[in-house]
Amino acid sequence: MKLFFAPLQGYTDHIYRSIHNEVVGGIDEYFSPFVRCDGGAVRNKDLRDIAPENNCGVNFVPQVIAAGVEELAPLLAVVEQAGYGRIDLNLGCPFPLQTARGRGAAALANPDKVEQMMQELKRHDTLKTSIKMRTGFTSTDEGLTTIVILNNFDLQHITIHPRLGVQQYKGQPDLEAFARLKEASHHPIVYNGDITSTDGIDRIASLFPDLDAIMIGRGLLARPTLAREWREGCERSEGERLATSLEMHRRLYEYACRTLQGDQQVLARMQAFWEYQKPLVDKKVYKRLMKTTSLRNYEEAVRSLE
């Protein structure tokens, strides 16, 4: 079973992906957080994130989000110009800032837009396409309609996160809806959602033995060694996991201090690194890491973990 690292805006930027790949690995493909247009132009920050020179040695797929062909076309152009042969289209983001513009999961309620975007992707036949979607925006019927449209196009795979867009992250993943969409699709399917342990990987792999891959997001942020542990068939101790996180931290902190401006920016980036790792860190130290406003204080808190 292949394992993919899910895209997580604000967390899995190119430096995180590179460091994870170097220090831990165990991942077959990383996906970039979505690249998007603002005011008609592709954001510079996103361009830097997918630039080939910032992604050396990492097997990663650039992801884009768009409300329709007008927004999609410039995104396809930059991905092609950067020399990539792969692209992932986001039809799953549930955040109101995106869905209010018709992007992400909201596109699932608009089959004409999906069809038009797929036709545009087909015209760019150097780009092998995959889709990342929810089971629908407001109902599973929307997801099924989308799957039927997607059956008419060549795709690498479809990743399905089995929640509706309007649920955001509430409730449990709907495995029944996942199975229905998977049944209806002619494409290889990737499961994504709420996997936090090696048992969780085994459970999904045994429920759906013909999956193309399993994609994990927050579970890997919380335990960066999760995929590696599953591959090796050997759970690591809390101490070993913390040691790995500290090594990732050392490299990320060095990069953040070198490239970001001002303590606040550096602290914000590092706090995002620790945010999902709360269970791994002593309670008091965690509070200090998240609350501090000075780098000196922050460094002292990290040292107390070593």
Ligand X SMILES: Cc1cc2nc3c(=O)[nH]c(=O)nc-3n(C[C@H](O)[C@H](O)[C@H](O)COP(=O)(O)O)c2cc1C
6 binds ligand X (CB under 6 A): yes
- Cα 89 to its chain centre, rounded Å, is 12
68 binds ligand X (CB under 6 A): no
279 binds ligand X (CB under 6 A): no
Tell which one of 132, 157, 187, 269 touches ligand X (CB under 6 A). Answer: 132
Shortest Cβ 168–ligand X spacing (Å): 9
Tokens 């890491």 map to which residue?
289
Q: Which amino acid is at 200?
A: G
| Closest CB to ligand X among residues 58, 301 | 58
Contact range with ligand X by CB under 6 A, out of 50-58, 70-78, 141-149, 215-223? 215-223
218 binds ligand X (CB under 6 A): yes
193 binds ligand X (CB under 6 A): yes
216 binds ligand X (CB under 6 A): yes
Tokens 């995002």 map to which residue?
272
9 binds ligand X (CB under 6 A): yes
Closest to 305 (Cα-Cα) out of 250, 227, 268, 265: 250
| Closest CB to ligand X among residues 63, 245 | 63
Closest to 50 (Cα-Cα) out of 23, 83, 8: 83
275 binds ligand X (CB under 6 A): no
Annotate each residue in 221-240 with x if it binds ligand X (CB under 6 A) or - if it does not, as one string: --------------------
Q: Which amino acid is at 3?
A: L
| Closest CB to ligand X among residues 135, 292 | 135
Q: Which residues pair with 214 in a beta bridge?
A: 3, 191
Contact criterion met (CB below 8 Å) for 58 and 18: yes
- Residues binding ligand X: what is the number (CB under 6 A)? 21
The DSSP letter of residue 236 is P
Shortest Cβ 154–ligand X spacing (Å): 20
| Closest CB to ligand X among residues 44, 261 | 44
d(CA 191, CA 178): 8
- Sorted by sequence, the CB contacts under 8 Å of residue 295 that are 6+ apart come out as 257, 263, 266, 267
Tell which one of 99, 146, 192, 198 touches ligand X (CB under 6 A). Answer: 192
| Closest CB to ligand X among residues 169, 186 | 169
Neighbours of 110 (CB within 10 A): 17
Shortest Cβ 50–ligand X spacing (Å): 12
101 binds ligand X (CB under 6 A): no
Task: Give start and end residues of each alpha helix (H) in the chain.
Answer: 14-23, 44-50, 69-81, 96-99, 111-123, 140-150, 175-184, 198-207, 218-222, 226-232, 238-259, 263-275, 283-291, 295-303
Shortest Cβ 297–ligand X spacing (Å): 26
165 binds ligand X (CB under 6 A): no
Q: Which residues ranging from 28 to 47 are in contact with ligand X (CB under 6 A)? A: 33-34
161 binds ligand X (CB under 6 A): yes
d(CA 244, CA 278): 15
d(CA 291, CA 109): 41
Annotate each residue in 72-91 with x if it binds ligand X (CB under 6 A) or - if it does not, as one string: ------------------x-
Provide the binding-site residues for ligand X, judged by CB under 6 A.
6-10, 33-34, 63, 90, 92-93, 132, 161, 192-195, 216-219
